[in-house]
């Protein structure tokens, strides 16, 4: 039996859902550990910025689960995430991409320094800074940027992507808001 492109996408999207389940399990510990400092919650849109991009596999996942919204809905005005509703709630929360699932946590990543050595960097949402300084946290008490991105890249390639195409969330909407113009 020959595998069709649809079969490949179905397998890749099932693997993406498994990745999200793993992510939820892994972040539960961070939720508990940082409960006193995390101010993130419904209505907080500080990190819901415009022009976020996702891998094509995540874009396809949103397309499949929210086809009606993308076909007939209107994106939130520019300046904030296109998927926020008028009250600031996420309209695709159950199927939100990876980047949205890790915002707010103390983040850490490794990057090459000016001298060629690997350097650890850390960051946290300014709204979540209260508490122990993030530089003092153990590495396992931060969300490590990199491994999940690698898994997403692998899924992208499995789906047939020759390059790691990224899609602006705003560009998923098929309808565009009417241009604003001054009243005469």
Condensed to tens digits (0 to 9), the pLDDT of residues 36-64 reads 999 887 778 899 999 899 999 999 999 99
Q: Give me the chain's average pLDDT, please.
A: 89
Q: What is the pLDDT of residue 42?
A: 74
- To the nearest 10 degrees (0 to 180), the angle between helices 56-65 and 147-158 is 70
CA atoms of 50 and 179, how far apart (whole Å): 18
pLDDT of residue 39: 87
Would you place residue 162 in the very low, low, confident or very high pLDDT band (cuts 50, 70, 90)?
low
- Strands 107-112 and 118-123 come out as antiparallel
pLDDT tier at 165, thresholds 50, 70, 90: confident
Query: What pTM, to 2 d.p., does this model score?
Result: 0.85
Give the span between the Cα atoms of 93 and 181, in whole angstroms: 32
At residue 35, does pLDDT exceed 70? Answer: yes
139-161 pLDDT, tens digit per residue, is 999 999 999 999 999 999 988 87
DSSP letter at 136 equals G
Residue 184: which pLDDT band, with cuts at 50, 70 and 90? very low
pLDDT at 179: 54
pLDDT above 60 for 80: yes
The pLDDT score that the predictor gives to residue 7 is 85
pLDDT tens per residue across span 9-22: 899 999 999 999 99
Q: How do residues 100-137 score in pLDDT, each as one tens digit?
A: 999 999 999 999 989 999 999 999 999 999 989 999 99
Strand bridging mode 143-144 / 107-112: parallel
């Amino acid at each position: 039996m020959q595998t069709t492109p649809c079969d490949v996408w179905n397998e890749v999207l099932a693997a993406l859902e498994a990745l999200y389940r793993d992510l939820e399990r892994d972040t539960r510990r961070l939720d508990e550990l940082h409960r006193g400092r995390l101010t993130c919650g419904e209505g907080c849109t500080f990190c819901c910025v415009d022009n976020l991009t996702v891998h094509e596999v995540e874009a396809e996942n949103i397309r499949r689960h929210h086809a009606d919204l993308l076909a007939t809905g209107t994106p939130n005005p520019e300046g904030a995430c296109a998927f926020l509703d008028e009250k600031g709630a996420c309209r695709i929360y159950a199927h939100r991409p990876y980047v949205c699932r890790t915002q707010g946590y103390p983040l850490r990543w490794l990057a090459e320094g000016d001298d060629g050595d690997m350097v650890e960097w850390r960051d946290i949402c300014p709204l979540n800074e209260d508490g122990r300084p993030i530089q003092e946290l153990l590495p396992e008490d931060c969300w490590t940027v990199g491994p999940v991105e690698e898994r997403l890249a692998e899924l992208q390639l499995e789906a047939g992507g020759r390059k790691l195409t990224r899609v602006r969330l705003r560009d998923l909407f098929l309808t565009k808001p009417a241009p604003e113009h001054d009243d005469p």
